[in-house]
Structure 1
Amino acid sequence: MSEEPRDVFMLSRDSLSVQEVVNAASSSSCGAVSVFIGTTREDELDGRKVVGLEYEAYELMAQSEFRRLCADIRARWPAVLHICVHHRLGWVKVGEASVVMAISSPHRHDGLEAVQRCIGQLKAAVPIWKKEVYDTQEASWKENAECSWSEQAAQNRPAH
């Protein structure tokens, strides 16, 4: 009896549980659960230190884009069984997890590649935005380099 694939996406204002994400992706028919944990890091920019991030999302569209992302992953890696992503909203201080994802697959290779694709596409296509807050009480919105509209992506596109 084969298990049905499961896709879980949760946006939360509470601390994320790595174990909860791993449990949601685990399966006795898979030999690998590949995990990614993205944490808020203490960066320094122009003499200001990041003390935390503030996340916002367009939640309905985020759910829709996540379903599209899962379909893309399954098309590329048909052996992937479960995909689970939990992402924070609101205030996330330095050192805390902003995103936790886990993907189960029979073998590690597919899962590891799928996790890399998943985080890249999550940052590129899912409408979740972050604002860096500095020790000076200043803040600035940041775009993900993976977004097609980002300045960094434009610099990396080939000229036509």
Structure 2
Amino acid sequence: MIEDILKYHQNELMLYGFPILGTSNHPFSISLWVQRTSTVGGTLVHVSAQFNGAGWGTDFIGFSSGGQIVDAGYDGTVKNVVGPAVSTNVWTHVTTTFSTTNGVRLYVNGSLISSTCTMAYSASGAVNTLTLSNPRVTGCATKSIVPGTFYGYFDGFHLYSRELSAADVTTLANP
């Protein structure tokens, strides 16, 4: 079912050149499949203004110390959406969306878990780097996410320059 699986173990994938993530209040969505192989917390998606992970930075998606999936936004203060605990060795579809109207929304396996409601997004003002599997630096706004290396697998990572609808998310979670 899941093809072209990438395994990350004390490694990360860095993707550079995302101006929309550096633009305050611009809608976006991030969607991916994830399979945890460890119960340790960890960062799934980290966004930073500098290629080395320094400067303005925040973890957008990761795990709490209790294994819950956490989705986060930043409007000058940290806003969390805490979802269910995600089992190890099970594929889980995770989507986060943002718009100023709906705030940050967290979907797990196609179902809306919760949202922050209306909020702004205070971005870096720079072209950003996305880092998968590792926050690269400590001291960034991590919220309830336990920053650190994610142990497991990723697949089907997508970044959208719009807020996905609930129907879009359902389609992605049910290929």
TM interval, short-chain normalised:
under 0.3
Structure with greater proportional helix content = 1
**What TM-score do the two structures reach when normalised by structure 1?**
0.27
Query: Relative CO higher for 1 or 2, CA cutoff 8 Å, sep ≥ 6?
Result: 2
Larger Rg: 1
**What TM-score do the two structures reach when normalised by structure 2?**
0.26
Structure with greater proportional strand content = 2
